Structure 1
Amino acid sequence: MHSTYTPTFFTRHNRPLRGVMIDNQPWFAARDIARLVAYRFPHSIQHRFYPHEVRTVRLAYSTGSDEETVMLSEAALYKALLRFGHPNSNPSTAGSPRTSSPPCATSTPQNPTHPAASSSPGTPAG
């Protein structure tokens, strides 16, 4: 087991996201995730997850410096995106494409012989 990891830097929505592979599993810097989802208290986001989803590791950089960094597992990353939102999930953002409900949910029924297709519930048919 390594004691120091060299992070890979990703850019998402013009924000850096540091990640490392530990035991063939991806782990991401907690503060970077907090900034990505605009969490109000980026220094304490790790308290919102289970202990097995959080670990502290030493990251070494190409400049020769290193630091202790709280990392979140891939599962915790997905939970953060679902729980706290994501920059793409805000439909009021200017320039973002708006999604609508699937066509099958808004189209007229294809089976006119089915009673529910010709009338809405609670309304007499005919």
Structure 2
Amino acid sequence: MSTHYYETRHFFRHGRLLRATLIGHEPWFAARDLARLLGISANVRLYEGLDPDQWRNGLIKCGRGMVSEELMLSESGCYDLMIRRFYHPENRNLRRWITQELIPSLRARQAA
């Protein structure tokens, strides 16, 4: 029996990790990593207030080859948290980084 997991790419901003992957052609992000970038407690239920298509639980491969279950957020779920639920002026820069650098890098790797 094989277990399906998502391979993630590791991106760093200000020394903090953000794991991301494409599921189909859509970017998804490890919610715990995004919470750290936003300065949000890991105990916050990040999926509350999001639509069901903006989050999912998934198995992702960690750095040492281990697999762990993580809450994953879609691109729109990510923006929803940054702009609506946990707004801070710095989040504009984070959104630009995700939109202009991270996502194009994910897609370019998939196309290769």
TM-score (ref. length: structure 2): 0.68
- Tell me, yes or no, if the aligned pair for 1:37 and 1:87 is still in contact at 8 Å: no
Q: Percent identity?
A: 35
- The corresponding residue for 2:55 is 54
1:69-123 deviations in Å (ceiling 9; x for gaps): 1100000111111121347259xxxxxxxxxxxxxxxxxxxxxxxxxxxxxxxxx
Higher helix share goes to which structure?
Answer: 2
Deviation at 1:17?
0.5
Give unmatched runs, 5+ long, in structure 2: 93-112
- The corresponding residue for 1:85 is 87
- Pair 1:4-2:5 in alignment: yes
**Runs of 4+ residues over 3 Å off in structure 1:** 40-43
Structural RMSD (CA) = 2.3
> How many residue pairs get matched?
89
Going from structure 1 to structure 2, the CA distance change for 1:43 and 1:67 (only over 3 Å counts) comes to farther
- The corresponding residue for 2:25 is 24
> How far apart, CA to CA, are the structure 1 residues paired with 2:14 and 2:73?
19
Secondary structure in structure 1 of the residue aligned to 2:90: helix
Deviation at 1:47?
1.8
Give unmatched runs, 5+ long, in structure 1: 91-126
Going from structure 1 to structure 2, the CA distance change for 1:87 and 1:34 (only over 3 Å counts) comes to farther
- Tell me, yes or no, if the aligned pair for 2:38 and 2:91 is still in contact at 8 Å: no
Deviation at 1:62?
4.8
User: Which amino acid in the other structure matches residue 4 of structure 1?
Assistant: Y
